[in-house]
Amino acid sequence: MTREARRFEDTIPQLADTPVPDDLKAWIIDRMEMYPDKKSAIIPCLMAAQKTHGWLSPEAVDQVAAVMKLTPAQLVSVASFYDMFELEPSGNRTIYMCTNISCMLRGADAVMEELERQVGVKNGGVSEDGIFLRNFECLGACDIAPMASVDGHFVGPLTVEDAKTLVEDIRAGREVLAKKQLSRRPVAATLWQNGGRAEGYDVSEGGES
Amino acid sequence: MSYSDELLFDNIDEPNLKSIEVYEQRGGYDELKRVLRELPPETVLNELQASGLRGRGGAGFAMGTKAGFLPKGDMDKYLCCNADESEPGTFKDRELMQKNPHQLIEGMIIASFAAGINKAFIYIRGEYEDQADVLEAAAKEAYDKGYLGENILGSGFGVSLVVHRGAGAYICGEETALLDSLEGKRGNPRLKPPFPANAGLFQGPTLINNVETLSNVAHITKMGGAKYAEIGTEKSTGTKLVSISGCVQKPGNYEIELGTPSRELLFDLAGGPLPGREFKAWFPGGSSSPVLTPAEFDLPYDFDSIAAAGSMLGSGAIIMIDDSVSMVDVALRTAKFYKHESCGKCTPCREGTSWTVKMLQRVEDGLATPMDLDIIESVCDQIMGNCLCVLGDAMAMPVSSMVKKFRPEFEAHIEAARLKRTPLDEATLADELNLAEMATSA
Ligand SMILES: Cc1cc2nc3c(=O)[nH]c(=O)nc-3n(C[C@H](O)[C@H](O)[C@H](O)COP(=O)(O)O)c2cc1C
Ligand code: SF4
Ligand code: FES
């Protein structure tokens, strides 16, 4: 992979020369006040900027730096530690496919391959219509293994066929795999008493997904 | 333990339990009111100590004792709820936060009262976006009702609460890395001592506890510490949420009484192996726990029994592996995770995890000899106990347990994979490996 070297300034950008969207600016100022030391707000503020800009572009970093009165170099040194910060251009829809142990045991690798085919990119790539696909470590939802997080919402258990539906749902702007959204799954004891079915959630065999 | 005896999961799926209305209808925050009205902080602390509650985040340290380590005095003191939940196989805190956030918040307020804490944080992993939204909404409701903030319910006691989202790094679950991350830094673990009780967040006295630990607090003060201690075994008191996943029929979180025979969890609750398969191995406490075999299915599921069998209960995450799965794949997948998550500060962890992955890859590809298995074990031995935090051990322990307990399978795999190779293949792969090694050592 060729990656252009990016230099981040170690001086604080001036607010006067750095236009910042109003909501982002207000959000950052509020956040800083929640902590005894404003630096605690770095990670949440970078995340807010990433949401606004789609990725941590140099402009995004400069905007946070200008409002927080910190250097871009400091912000990027923090950001580069964390998996969820995108220091390269990213998409506007995100699929994190879990490929850690419990998901691997239930067939995650095959689902990931199918997702790659459906999205049309390899792991870490962004499709032309803006879908970012990458594999991820355990997302804390091994009860629905193999699973994925689509824009922060967890879905599973995924079959290889689900991978196709998942991508179609994203492209059609629909709720993704409506019957497999974790948010509607009851606690295990209840779910399995009812054979894997619940209102709005269905993982029973032959159940629609 | 029967379903009706649940504490943390009691009515967990009641519609909208996450709202303060429903939570209060079910008696929520009554205990906070009673505590603030009737009990001095020392009594609450005594109840927590009498309960024997051990930390649910992995290390199993007595919660009341840890809360008692915080110095007296009116400096700022901090409570950090560890909601990083990133140990592979663990997903219990997610369900607690998503479905019953006020149970956690009420527990945090009472714990803060007991330890004289005035600033509380929930550090939640960034990937839990829905759950963080739920917590933020719940915290706002609790503020609006006067359960958070200054002078709570006219008691003179006050505590603030901020929900803080991380951004994806397993190591931030380690308590001192969590503190650095919460201070806006890279999440590198700190050297201990000083311990967080003395110099933690912003160098102030800090109590760090897991979501499940803190969710127990209101139940303990309500029923009394001694009564709580009657649940479970003598040294592992209470109920435990067990996350069961992998090759089972009914994966999910189950609330059990500590000391329940493991077999009951695996077969009665989780429904046993998938059709036509048999269990071969299991992680009893997350992917960093040494694996056990079916010979150990009758172990009581509690901290000491699992430790006596050479493993650990950890976060209470059971991952089942069946006979269709290659242990080489399991070892490689596990090692890769810890290699990826090593913060890189200590040489044995950084280099050891990386070399273990390379060697296991060689095993996988049939380029290894049985001697490589000895080297893997010796690398693991040299990681253990030689690092700043236990992330290195977290890879070394399970990997070496797999190589030790399933050595014939590893050897058979090496031989089978070697025979599958054509000589040309071998030359190309050996070349690639050499190049990769040269690149990393350069
Ligand atoms: C590498 C590593 C990762 C950890 N991850 C978590 C975690 O995600 N959640 C958690 O509660 N504890 C985690 N711990 C344990 C914490 O360091 C700490 O012991 C725990 O939060 C204390 O809370 P407890 O006493 O209530 O268990 C981790 C420890 C290590 C070494
Ligand atoms: S053991 Fe590993 S993760 Fe822990 S501090 Fe050392 S290098 Fe970092
Ligand atoms: S291993 Fe995939 S969610 Fe845990």
Q: What is the pLDDT of residues B244-268, one digit of tens each?
A: 999 999 999 999 999 999 999 999 9
Q: Ligand 2: does its nearest atom lie under 6 Å from the Cβ of B284? A: no
- Amino acid letter at B102? H
**What pTM did the predictor assign?**
0.95
Split into its structural domains, chain B has a count of: 3
Would you state the pLDDT for residue A209? 39
Instruction: Give B232's DSSP letter.
Output: B
B88: pLDDT strictly greater than 60: yes
**Same-domain pairing of B266 and B332:** no
Burial B246-268 (b: 16+ CB within 10 A, else e): bbbebbbbbbbbbbbbbebbbbe
Q: Ligand 3: does its nearest atom lie under 6 Å from the Cβ of A102? A: yes
Whole-number Å distance between alpha carbons of A175 and B196: 44
Q: Long-range CB contacts (< 8 A, 24+ apart) of B176-181?
A: B176/B200, B176/B389, B177/B343, B177/B389, B178/B80, B178/B82, B178/B84, B178/B123, B178/B208, B179/B80, B179/B206, B179/B208, B181/A43, B181/B123
**Same-domain pairing of B203 and B351:** no
Sign, CA dihedral A160-A166-A172-A176, equals positive
> Which one of A105, A183, A197 would you mutate to disrupt binding with B, by most B Cβ within 10 Å of its Cβ?
A105
- Whether B13 maps to a domain, the answer reads no
**Same-domain pairing of B421 and B287:** no
Q: Ligand 2: does its nearest atom lie under 6 Å from the Cβ of B344? A: yes
Instruction: For residue B177, report the distance from its CA to the centre of ligand 2, in Å.
Output: 10
Q: What is the CATH number for B304?
A: 3.10.20.600
| Closest residue by Cα to residue B399 from B292, B319, B290, B268 | B290
Whole-number Å distance between alpha carbons of B322 and B270: 14
**Same-domain pairing of B64 and B164:** yes
Cβ-nearest to A43 among B9, B98, B166: B166
Instruction: Give B268's DSSP letter.
Output: I
**Same-domain pairing of B51 and B125:** yes
**Same-domain pairing of B377 and B433:** yes
pLDDT in tens, B49-84: 999 999 999 999 999 999 999 999 999 999 999 999
A208: pLDDT strictly greater than 70: no
Q: At what angle do helices B347-364 and B423-441 cross, to 10 degrees?
A: 170
**Same-domain pairing of B269 and B380:** no
Sign, CA dihedral B58-B63-B66-B67, equals positive
Q: Ligand 1: does its nearest atom lie under 6 Å from the Cβ of B81? A: no
Would you state the pLDDT for residue A24? 98
Q: Which residue of B has its CA nearest to A108?
A: B246
CA A53, distance to chain mean position in Å, is 14
Average pLDDT over residues B14-30: 97
- Whether B14 maps to a domain, the answer reads no
Q: At what angle do helices B407-420 and B327-341 cross, to 10 degrees?
A: 100
Domain that holds residue B332: 327-441
Residues of B with Cβ-Cβ distance to A78 under 8 angstroms: 184-186
> Which one of B127, B163, B333, B399 would you mutate to disrupt binding with A, by most A Cβ within 10 Å of its Cβ?
B127
Tell me the residues of chain A between 108 and 167 that have a Cβ less than 8 Å away from chain B: 136-145, 149, 152-154
| Bridge partners (DSSP) listed for residue B202 | none
Q: At what angle do helices B92-99 and B101-115 cross, to 10 degrees?
A: 100
- Whether B15 maps to a domain, the answer reads no
pLDDT in tens, B420-433: 886 666 666 666 66
Instruction: For residue B337, report the distance from its CA to the centre of ligand 2, in Å.
Output: 13
- Whether B123 maps to a domain, the answer reads yes
Token pair for A87:
């220091």
Burial B87-125 (b: 16+ CB within 10 A, else e): bbbbbbbbbbbbbbbbbbbbbbbbbbbbbbbbbbbbbbb
Would you state the pLDDT for residue A204? 86
B161: pLDDT strictly greater than 60: yes
- Whether B5 maps to a domain, the answer reads no
B441: pLDDT strictly greater than 90: no
Would you state the pLDDT for residue B439? 56
- Whether B1 maps to a domain, the answer reads no
Q: What is the CATH number for B186?
A: 3.40.50.11540
**Same-domain pairing of B283 and B209:** no
Q: Ligand 2: does its nearest atom lie under 6 Å from the Cβ of B385? A: no
| Bridge partners (DSSP) listed for residue B375 | none
**Which atom of ligand 3 is least distant from the CA of A99?**
2
* Interface predicted TM-score (ipTM): 0.95
**Which atom of ligand 1 is least distant from the CA of B212?**
26
B237 CB contacts (<8 Å, ≥6 apart)? B51, B52, B53, B54, B228, B229, B230, B231, B258
Boundary residue ending a domain (B229, B251, B277): B229
- Whether B3 maps to a domain, the answer reads no
Would you state the pLDDT for residue B340? 96
Whole-number Å distance between alpha carbons of B417 and B314: 34
- Whether B82 maps to a domain, the answer reads yes
**Same-domain pairing of B61 and B208:** yes
Cβ pair A137:B287 closer than 8 A:
no
B13: pLDDT strictly greater than 50: yes
Could you tell me which residue, B441 or B303, shows the higher pLDDT?
B303
Report how far apart, in Å, the C-alpha atoms of B404 and of each of B284, B352, B377, B396, B410 are: 17, 18, 8, 12, 10
Q: Ligand 3: does its nearest atom lie under 6 Å from the Cβ of A145? A: yes
Instruction: Give B201's DSSP letter.
Output: G
**Same-domain pairing of B256 and B189:** no
> What are the E-state strand segments in B105-148?
119-124
What percentage of chain B has pLDDT greater than the value 70? 94
Angle formed at CA B325 by CA B265 and CA A195, multiple of 5 degrees: 45
Residues of A with Cβ-Cβ distance to B91 under 8 angstroms: 140-143
Could you tell me which residue, B424 or B229, shows the higher pLDDT?
B229
Boundary residue ending a domain (B229, B260, B283): B229
Q: Are B41 and B114 in contact (CB under 8 A)?
A: yes
CA B264, distance to chain mean position in Å, is 22
Q: Long-range CB contacts (< 8 A, 24+ apart) of A45-54?
A: A46/A75, A46/A78, A46/A79, A46/A85, A46/B167, A47/A84, A47/A85, A47/B126, A47/B165, A47/B167, A48/A24, A49/A24, A50/A85, A50/A86, A52/A21, A52/A23, A52/A24, A54/A86, A54/A89, A54/A90, A54/A91, A54/A92
pLDDT in tens, A25-59: 999 999 999 999 999 999 999 999 999 999 999 99
**Same-domain pairing of B203 and B68:** yes
Q: What's the first-to-final CA gap in chain A, in angstroms?
A: 37
Pairing of β B78-83 and β A201-202: unpaired
**Same-domain pairing of B172 and B63:** yes
A128 CB contacts (<8 Å, ≥6 apart)? A120
Boundary residue ending a domain (B320, B337, B357): B320
Average pLDDT over residues B127-140: 98
Cβ-nearest to A187 among B86, B95, B244: B95
B118 CB contacts (<8 Å, ≥6 apart)? B76, B77, B112, B158, B159, B160
Residues of A with Cβ-Cβ distance to B130 under 8 angstroms: 152-154, 183
